[in-house]
Amino acid sequence: MKELQRLEMYHEEIKKGISVVMFSADWCPDCRVIEPFLPEVEAKFSNMTFFYANRDEFIDLCAQLDVFGIPSFLVYRDGEEIARFVSKDRKTQEEIEQFLSSVSE
């Protein structure tokens, strides 16, 4: 998973293909729970490019996008948001994969 470094990188990267941006933070316990299985999720959805956005570094973007709970996933196709899995609840591998399956069809 590529880590977004700058806001310009975010805007540039979501322009091509299907991009999944995961908003997270180092201090978030629910985010740490999903970390071990994220490589497996990425492998299953190899048609998508995954990006990690540190919520604390992109706080203005989170506010602009109404991302108030983490971990959260926003999916873009050629720069347009097509789906989001945004909530403050802990997410399971099954829930994340089900969400990504619904947008990859």
- pLDDT per residue over 57-105, tens digit each? 999 999 999 998 899 999 999 999 999 998 777 899 999 999 999 997 6
User: Is 14 contained in some domain?
Assistant: yes
Rounded Cα gap, residues 79 and 15, in angstroms: 4
Q: Is 28 a catalytic residue?
A: yes
Sheet holding 72-77, edge to edge: 2-3, 48-54, 18-24, 72-77, 80-85
Identify the weakest region by mean pLDDT among 16-30, 45-59, 80-94. Answer: 80-94
User: Is 98 contained in some domain?
Assistant: no
User: Is 103 contained in some domain?
Assistant: no
Q: Looking at the predicted structure, is the pLDDT value of residue 15 above 70?
A: yes
56: CATH: 3.40.30.10
User: Is 79 contained in some domain?
Assistant: yes
> From the candidates 31, 34, 62, 75, which is the catalytic residue?
31
User: Is 16 contained in some domain?
Assistant: yes
More confident of the two residues 89 and 35 = 35
How many domains does the chain contain in total?
Answer: 1
Q: Is 62 a catalytic residue?
A: no
* Mean pLDDT score of the chain: 93
> From the candidates 4, 20, 21, 28, which is the catalytic residue?
28
Position 86 scores a pLDDT of: 85
User: Is 25 contained in some domain?
Assistant: yes
Position 105 scores a pLDDT of: 60
User: Is 87 contained in some domain?
Assistant: yes
- The range of the structural domain enclosing residue 12 comes to 2-93
User: Is 102 contained in some domain?
Assistant: no
